[in-house]
Amino acid sequence: MIGNGKRLISWILYGTAAGILLACFFYIPEVFLKIKLYTFLLNIDFLPLPASIIFNEPLQFVLHLFIAIALIACVDLLCKMFYHPFLISLFINIIMSFTFFPLYSLAVSKPFLPPLTIPFFIWLFGHLLFSLLIGFFVSLMHNKS
């Protein structure tokens, strides 16, 4: 295993890269299809926070990256007990994909209107790709050790 300091740096680097790629993936349908999945990914308007935080896109993006970093750390730590980075990541990301519906219902400003079928399937596909990327990065970290 790589040292704790190197592991933390790996989590930050790989989590940031994965989070940026997921955001880019959701930005494409936002620009070309007007399906605001990037906006939905960053949305935190349901939290009881001041408007200066809720509508601060750079801060929303950083929060998204923190979640990606925490996710890669979680998958990495679970792999110490059960070494299947792709399976663990896939399982977690499928659960995360289905947060789409509760998050949509909690959102104050709805980024798209029903039917939710196309946005959900793009959301699901993006998270499946994200899970493969997380699994790949965790595999790299474990191969270094």
Instruction: Judge contact between 134 and 75, C-beta under 8 A.
Output: yes
Instruction: Judge contact between 110 and 104, C-beta under 8 A.
Output: yes
For residue 17, pLDDT beyond 70: yes
Cα–Cα distance, 92 to 68 (Å, whole number): 12
1: confidence class by pLDDT, cuts 50, 70, 90:
very low
Question: pLDDT (tens digit, 9 = 90+) per residue, 73-123?
Answer: 999 999 989 889 999 999 999 999 999 999 999 999 999 988 999 999 999
What pLDDT does residue 4 have? 79
What pLDDT does residue 3 have? 67
Question: pLDDT (tens digit, 9 = 90+) per residue, 18-64?
Answer: 999 999 999 999 999 999 999 999 999 999 999 998 999 999 999 99
The verdict on pTM exceeding 0.75 is yes
Task: Please report where in the chains the tokens 């809720």 appear, as a residue.
Answer: 54
4-32 vs 117-144: helix axis angle to the nearest 10?
Answer: 160
143: confidence class by pLDDT, cuts 50, 70, 90:
confident
Cα–Cα distance, 85 to 65 (Å, whole number): 20
